[in-house]
């Protein structure tokens, strides 16, 4: 790899998929999903996403676990008058998320290969552009650049749900857009305030800026609205089940696997280091909201009759562990535990990306055949789809946090950290062992097991080659991280230590 290439690795990761998406839009398809032109489009889309994966492997290979600070940095003046820079860089928090993004996108493209009949070129273009923008969010070091990526990301997702979504897609897209947009507008206000304080949009400038407690509280709340909606945290979570239910399978996968992670990432990248005292001030509330997400949402998930809604609620409960792990930071008097909670939250994000993505794919596989997401429309699927059922049970077990799967790793670490902080935190968090198993396996019982329930189930065909490939890749990833999370965790450790150190210094 020559120097020029590696110096612009992040730019390539951002702009390559976007360029690929734009190319697809320019050429366009001929309105016929079966035509050779549409076929060519698919191959172009897949190739671009696969090349992006290869480039991301370069990022992984070149990433130095031991280094402090940002790596693969790029900086160029963008809007000189406002001191805005095109500034990129990654550390142990963002790199795993970029790898996840690059990894998930081709899987989504393969899954949607021939299930999308309406304007496939535009559909694939939306996903490629979305991929680039999401990687942009994870690598931006300039607040305005971050904000631009953050907001533009909404557009392709808005279109994916609004154009290729289900019956109530208009309600769902509006709810999705308004919720997330409302949240992020306040983030922009905070950025502009910080610009006034520091004279630039450099995130490190923001982190170094001395801020009063009042200012930090306002900044924290402004960020909170943006990030809590994305995670989503209780009580601003109700857009997610609606969005998931209406989104096409690929949209659900990207939404659950990556877009929700924006919220968690925002907390560690912005809230904690920019407003450490504000974060500390609100940490009790954040822990409470996280635990409500785990317990309350766990109960709500139990009663869902729609598989996608069930998994959406399950996502909210699992993301509760992310925010819980992050905001335990101030709960340890003396002893260690902060890094455990933080790393647990990070691992949970990656793991949830894989597992919830896989769960949505599984529902998609059934939906493509029967056109229903209702649990009651199934029963005894194992009789006609044994291979699919094996995958579904595996992912369900991972969702229930079975050791040996990635779902266990983060939850285990966060539960230990919670116990160190307060017995009752751990008590409530650990209830996921029961609730998570209850809602996931009860669904499995009703969908997968039993006698063949109806003619639709009797007519089911087991996985085709592409579906098998995608689920197998995800299954292997879930198992690898579950059996040997060290490579993933080693990537984060230094950055996490550094972040805790940084947050530990009060700005007052």
Which residues sit opposite 87 in a β-bridge?
Answer: 75
Candidate residues 7, 374, 423, 476; the one interacting with other proteins per rule CB under 8 A: 423
Candidate residues 124, 176, 220, 296; the one interacting with other proteins per rule CB under 8 A: 296
Name, in order, each residue with C-beta under 8 angstroms of 390's C-beta and a sequence gap of 6 or more. Answer: none
Minimum CB–partner distance for residue 141 and other proteins (Å):
24
Q: Quick check: 435 and 302 in contact, CB under 8 A?
A: yes
Q: Does 454 bind other proteins (CB under 8 A)?
A: no
Residue among 358 and 382 whose Cβ is closer to other proteins: 382
Residue among 24 and 492 whose Cβ is closer to other proteins: 492
Alpha-carbon distance 442 to 197, whole Å?
53
Minimum CB–partner distance for residue 452 and other proteins (Å):
8
Name, in order, each residue with C-beta under 8 angstroms of 381's C-beta and a sequence gap of 6 or more. Answer: 366, 388, 389, 392, 447, 448, 457, 460
Stretch that binds other proteins, among 66-74, 185-193, 255-263, 353-361 (CB under 8 A): 185-193
| Size of the residue set binding other proteins (CB under 8 A) | 73
Alpha-carbon distance 360 to 364, whole Å?
6
Give the residue from 321, 492, 483, 298 showing the smallest Cα distance to 402. 483
Give the residue from 374, 393, 366, 347 showing the smallest Cα distance to 457. 366
Tell me how many helices (H) and strands (E) the chain has.
25, 2
Stretch that binds other proteins, among 56-64, 262-270, 274-282, 408-416 (CB under 8 A): 408-416
> What length does the chain have?
508
Candidate residues 81, 196, 210, 465; the one interacting with other proteins per rule CB under 8 A: 196
Q: Does 458 bind other proteins (CB under 8 A)?
A: no
Q: Token digits for 498? A: 């550094």
Q: How many CA atoms lie within 13 A of 397 on its CB side?
A: 14
Site for other proteins in 300-339 (CB under 8 A): 300-304, 335-339
Candidate residues 188, 209, 213, 288; the one interacting with other proteins per rule CB under 8 A: 188
Q: Token digits for 56? A: 């991301």
Q: Does 485 bind other proteins (CB under 8 A)?
A: yes
Stretch that binds other proteins, among 115-123, 267-275, 363-371, 412-420 (CB under 8 A): 412-420
Q: Does 175 bind other proteins (CB under 8 A)?
A: yes
Minimum CB–partner distance for residue 9 and other proteins (Å):
27
Q: Quick check: 141 and 89 in contact, CB under 8 A?
A: yes
Tokens 């990248």 belong to 269
Q: Does 476 bind other proteins (CB under 8 A)?
A: no
Candidate residues 448, 457, 470, 503; the one interacting with other proteins per rule CB under 8 A: 448
**Greatest C-alpha distance within the chain:** 69
Site for other proteins in 221-280 (CB under 8 A): 235, 238-239
Minimum CB–partner distance for residue 469 and other proteins (Å):
15
- Which x/- pattern over 365-384 shows residues binding other proteins (rule: CB under 8 A)? ---------------x-xx-
**276: number of Cβ within 10 Å:** 23
Minimum CB–partner distance for residue 197 and other proteins (Å):
9
Residue among 55 and 339 whose Cβ is closer to other proteins: 339
């Amino acid at each position: 790899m020559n120097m020029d290439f590696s110096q612009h690795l992040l730019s390539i990761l951002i702009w390559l998929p976007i360029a690929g998406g734009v190319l697809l839009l320019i050429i366009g398809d001929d309105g016929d999903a079966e035509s050779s032109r549409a076929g060519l489009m698919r191959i172009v889309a897949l190739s671009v996403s696969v090349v992006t994966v290869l480039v991301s492997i370069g990022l992984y290979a070149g990433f130095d676990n031991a280094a402090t600070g940002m790596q693969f940095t790029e900086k160029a003046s963008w809007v000189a008058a406002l001191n805005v820079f095109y500034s990129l860089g990654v550390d142990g928090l963002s790199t795993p998320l970029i790898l996840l993004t690059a990894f998930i996108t081709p899987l989504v493209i393969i899954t949607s290969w021939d299930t999308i009949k309406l304007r496939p070129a535009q559909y694939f273009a939306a996903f490629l552009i979305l991929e680039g923008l999401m990687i942009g969010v994870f690598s931006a070091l300039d607040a305005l650049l971050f904000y631009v990526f953050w907001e533009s990301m909404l557009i392709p997702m808005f279109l994916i749900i609004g154009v290729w979504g289900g019956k109530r897609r208009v309600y769902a897209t509006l709810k999705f857009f308004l919720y997330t947009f409302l949240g992020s507008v306040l983030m922009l206000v905070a950025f502009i305030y910080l610009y006034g304080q520091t004279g630039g949009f450099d995130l490190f400038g923001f982190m170094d800026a001395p801020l009063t407690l009042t200012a930090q509280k306002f900044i924290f709340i402004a960020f909170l609205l943006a990030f809590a909606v994305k995670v989503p945290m209780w009580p601003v979570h109700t857009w997610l089940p609606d969005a998931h239910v209406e989104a096409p399978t690929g949209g659900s996968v990207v939404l659950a696997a990556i877009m929700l992670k924006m919220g968690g990432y925002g907390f560690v990248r912005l809230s904690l280091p920019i407003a450490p005292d504000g974060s500390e001030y609100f940490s009790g509330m954040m822990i409470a909201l996280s635990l409500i997400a785990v317990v309350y949402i766990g109960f709500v998930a139990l009663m869902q009759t729609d598989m996608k809604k069930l998994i959406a609620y399950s996502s909210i409960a699992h993301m509760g562990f992310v925010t819980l792990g992050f905001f335990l930071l101030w709960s340890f008097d003396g002893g260690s535990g902060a890094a455990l909670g933080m790393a647990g939250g990070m691992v949970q994000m990656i793991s949830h990306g894989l597992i919830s993505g896989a769960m949505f794919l599984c529902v998609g596989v059934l939906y493509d055949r029967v056109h229903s997401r209702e649990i009651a429309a199934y029963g005894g699927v194992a009789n006609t789809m044994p291979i699919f059922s094996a995958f579904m049970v595996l992912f369900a077990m991972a969702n229930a946090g079975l050791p040996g799967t990635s779902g266990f790793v983060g939850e285990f670490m966060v539960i230990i950290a919670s116990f160190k902080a307060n017995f009752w935190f751990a008590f409530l968090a650990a209830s996921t062992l029961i609730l998570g198993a209850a809602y996931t396996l009860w669904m499995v019982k009703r969908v997968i097991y039993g006698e063949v329930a109806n003619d639709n189930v009797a007519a089911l065909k087991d996985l085709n080659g592409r579906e098998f490939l995608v689920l197998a890749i995800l299954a292997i990833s879930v198992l690898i991280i579950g059996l040997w999370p060290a490579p993933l965790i080693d990537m984060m450790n230094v950055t996490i230590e550094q972040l805790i150190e940084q947050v530990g210094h009060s700005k007052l």
